[in-house]
Amino acid sequence: MIVRVSRRVNKRLRPARLFPLLGLLASPALSAERVGPAPDFTLAGFAPACAARPDPAQPLDLAAIADLALCRNPATASAWAATRAAAAREVQARSLYGPRLDASVQPGGSVSRRWGGGFPAASDSAASVTATLSLGWLLTDFGGRAAQLGLAAEAREQALAAFADRAQAVVLEAALAYFDTLAAAEALVAAEANAVFAATSLEAAAARERAGVGIRSDRLQADAALADAELRLARARGTAATQSGRLATALDLPPGTVLRLAEPEPGRSGRFTGLGAAPRTDLAETARARPDLRLARSLVTSADAGVRAAEAARRPTVSLGASPSLSAGTQGPDTAVASAGLTLSVPLFDSGGRTAAVEAARRDAERARADAETSRLQAAQDVWARLQAVEVAEASLSTAARLLASAEEAADLARGRYRAGLAGITELLNAQGSLASAREQAVAARYGLRTAGLQLARAVGLLHEEIR
């Protein structure tokens, strides 16, 4: 096994140092000024430097897993780079409100030679240099720059929403892999117990056969049951190794990395409790914090800004220009020239191109609103489905516990009755099979509730509430 489950929780890794970022990103108030350089793809002050590998002496709990996933996963780095690029483009759009100053220097020279006509040969040379400053300032464009700045601001908001969605997806995959790894480890323990029980059943059947009170077919059936239990045990080992590799990969570690995992807190049921009564009244409003819905709303605002930009392209612009220049040379006097003026540019006719652009922008805005409504309805359905999954998992938990208790007692009774000669091999093997199934279902129910809670929290966009 490459996963070690520890009952001792690492208190130094709690609370999560990176994961509060998702709570911050869930707020629409995250401004462009906050999107700056930050270590490990999060806001300054939230994250330490990423460790090359987790400390094998410290067990990893869910919060530590979330930290490592955000810190190390390259998908988070890619999304954060896109966010910073969008913030830089917003600054670029804001620069359109200021003047632009350019300088140019043009050195030159000439050489001439004259001969013939009875005159002696002669040559002349000259050198000159011209320096020019050009100042341009767009004074007004009747809303064109404001529309461009709005588009850039919404692009930054969309990049933030995409980053939040990517970060939550990364953390959800790591958290699911964490619980699936723990579940696989428990299932392996259950499979080992089932194999031990099957081995004792075979010993009992063989002892009865040797004593002359049993038949060969009973021993063969018990031996077949043991072989089946050993086969299930081998599969359980493979599943445990696979899930461990999945968790390591989610943390950007080699699949064979040895991970020491802390058991979940016993007091946590795994149910996401941040919903209250809202899911049964307005599921779409409950899911308002979802990053994909934030993205859809931003796309609507961006489409409206696109309409304003297209309309502004049909309006005149007024700009200021100034250009002083200085020329000096080896021949002739030095000169200085300066010019300044206002330029009024009025679009008159373009064969209907600008009008068509406005119409296309308006239709794009309609499409964005329809897509946003579709996303809202899909989010409501997602929340509803995840809520039902949580309720089913809660109901299954107590039923699975009762099933396991009954199966354990029935198996013990059947084994005692078989050894005493009061029951046949069929009763013992049936009880043995029921116990193996009950153990598997108990493990699935315990971790099924936790994973259902995580997926519900992801559906409403508040995954950080479930983990912290």
pLDDT single digits (tens) 223-272:
999 999 999 999 999 999 999 999 999 988 899 888 889 888 765 555 55
Per DSSP, 46 falls in state T
pLDDT of residue 33: 41
Q: Between these two residues, 186 and 267, which has the higher pLDDT value? A: 186
User: What pLDDT band is residue 15 in, cutting at 50, 70 and 90?
Assistant: very low
Domain-located, residue 103: yes
For 41-84, the pLDDT digits (tens) are 333 333 445 666 777 778 888 888 888 888 888 888 888 888 88
Domain-located, residue 240: yes
Domain-located, residue 114: no
pLDDT of residue 284: 59
Q: Is the pLDDT of residue 278 over 50?
A: no
The enclosing domain of 136 has a CATH number of 1.20.1600.10
Domain-located, residue 119: no
Domain-located, residue 112: no
pLDDT of residue 127: 80
Q: For 212-227, what is the mean pLDDT?
A: 89
For the chain, what is the domain count? 1
Q: Between these two residues, 4 and 153, which has the higher pLDDT value? A: 153
pLDDT of residue 42: 38
Is the distance from CB of 253 to CB of 339 less than 8 angstroms?
no
Is the distance from CB of 170 to CB of 76 less than 8 angstroms?
yes
Domain-located, residue 371: yes
Q: Which residues, 6+ apart, have CB-to-CB distance to 59 below 8 Å?
A: 4, 6, 8, 9, 10, 260, 261, 262
Is the distance from CB of 392 to CB of 385 less than 8 angstroms?
no
Q: For 357-384, what is the mean pLDDT?
A: 93
Q: Which residues, 6+ apart, have CB-to-CB distance to 255 below 8 Å?
A: 244, 245, 246, 248, 249
3-state secondary structure of 427: helix
Domain-located, residue 113: no
Question: If you average pLDDT over every residue of the chain, what do you get?
Answer: 82
Query: What is the domain extent for residue 72?
Result: 3-107+124-467
3-state secondary structure of 282: coil
pLDDT of residue 248: 92
Q: Is the pLDDT of residue 419 over 60?
A: yes
User: What pLDDT band is residue 194 in, cutting at 50, 70 and 90?
Assistant: very high
Backbone φ, ψ for residue 243 (5° rounding)? -65, -35
Domain-located, residue 116: no
Report the share of the chain in percent with pLDDT over 70: 82
Q: Is the pLDDT of residue 39 over 50?
A: no
pLDDT of residue 268: 54
pTM score: 0.77
pLDDT of residue 124: 73
For 325-356, the pLDDT digits (tens) are 888 777 777 788 888 888 889 999 888 899 99
For 156-181, the pLDDT digits (tens) are 999 988 898 888 899 999 999 999 99
pLDDT of residue 306: 92
For 103-161, the pLDDT digits (tens) are 988 887 777 777 766 667 667 777 888 888 898 898 888 888 999 999 999 999 999 88
